Amino acid sequence: MKNGLFGIGGIIVALAAVALYLSIFIVNPAQQALVLQFGEIRRAEQEPGLKFKIPFVQNVVYFDKRVLDLNMPLIEPILSDKKRLVVDAFARYRITDPVLFYQTVNNIGEANQRLSTFLQSSLRSVLARATFVQMVRDDRSGLMDQIRQDVASRAAPIGIEVVDVKIRRADLPQTNSDAVFRRMQTERQREATEIRAQGAEQAQRIRSRAERDSTVIVAEAKRDAEVIRGDGDAERNRIFADAFTRDPEFFSFYRSMQAYAEGLKAGDTSMVLSPTSEFFRYFRDPSGAPRPQAPAASGEAPVARGPLAQ
């Protein structure tokens, strides 16, 4: 009898332990939970700790409480100035209302798909009103704020808070990038050609000015040289004239010596002159006295031939 009571008591204790085990669940700080009873939400547990539920009747669904990432595929929106961009964007969000989240999207995968749709729609809508310069340089942060606010307003009815929306990269498509590169290259080549032309023009101007200055300097130098040479010749003639007036005989002797030095140079110089020529009067007489004229005879006067420089 006692053995039977002990057996029944052990079974009851075991069932109670199992029931207690099945009625306990733990919510950690990174999670939040919903207690469901036959699929109906009974309560939400957002605080961490040890929680209880009715075993076999109620079950628990867990949702992440941390900030989650949403990476969306590349899109190509068209801007207001008809330029097409390749945009790579992402969003960060958290589940703030697990009840509403469970009732609308039920799970993270469905939530990501819904948020991706919201984000793509908002990106296309906001960027369609922006220009390329605003997107790339002037007002990128302002456009991001508009997109975040728009996505946040759409995500609020499904129990999600959008923390941030960012664009990783916004580039022109490859075909447009090639066209822009070619246009930039053409503009730089045009600028380089213009700069070279300006440089060549300045070089030609400097070269022409230098040639003009050179011509003027050479002409002035030649003029001054001719003036100096003329003054020198005048002074030489004056000295010669003065010497001639002072001693005509010496002047005649000096000029004859110069003529001999020029005319009778060593080498192959040959002259055919009469020995009685006035040119040789200082050879006949050191005083240079003229030779008395002989009476003319029949026939020709003798002629000296041969090298006279020897």
Q: Which residue has the tokens 């040119």?
A: 279
Average pLDDT score over residue span 25-49 = 86
If one compares 276 and 219, the residue with the highest pLDDT of the two is 219
Q: Which amino acid is at 210?
A: A
Give residue 305's pLDDT band: very low, low, confident or very high (50, 70, 90).
very low
At residue 199, does pLDDT exceed 80? yes
3-state DSSP: the chain helix, strand, coil percent, rounded to 5? 55, 20, 25
pLDDT at 252: 75
Query: In the beta sheet, which residues pair with residue 165?
Result: 91
Give residue 149's pLDDT band: very low, low, confident or very high (50, 70, 90).
very high
Of the candidate ranges 48-52, 61-65, 90-94, 224-228, the one whose mean pLDDT is the lowest: 48-52
- Round to the nearest angstrom and report the end-to-end CA distance of the chain: 178
Edge-to-edge strand list for the sheet holding 86-95:
68-71, 86-95, 160-171
Q: Which residues of 215-232 are buried (b: 16+ CB within 10 A; e: fewer)?
A: eeeeeeeeeeeeeeeeee
- Dist CA 229 CA 235 (whole Å): 10
At residue 300, does pLDDT exceed 50? no
At residue 9, does pLDDT exceed 80? no
pTM: 0.52
Token pair listed for 270: 């040959």
Q: What is the pLDDT of residues 43-83, one digit of tens each?
A: 888 888 888 888 878 888 888 889 999 988 888 888 888 88
If one compares 204 and 82, the residue with the highest pLDDT of the two is 204
Give residue 162's pLDDT band: very low, low, confident or very high (50, 70, 90).
very high
Write the DSSP assignment of 1-30 as a string of letters. -HHHHHHHHHHHHHHHHHHHHHHEEEE-TT
- Dist CA 159 CA 111 (whole Å): 10
Q: Which amino acid is at 212?
A: R
Of the candidate ranges 25-29, 53-57, 96-100, the one whose mean pLDDT is the lowest: 53-57
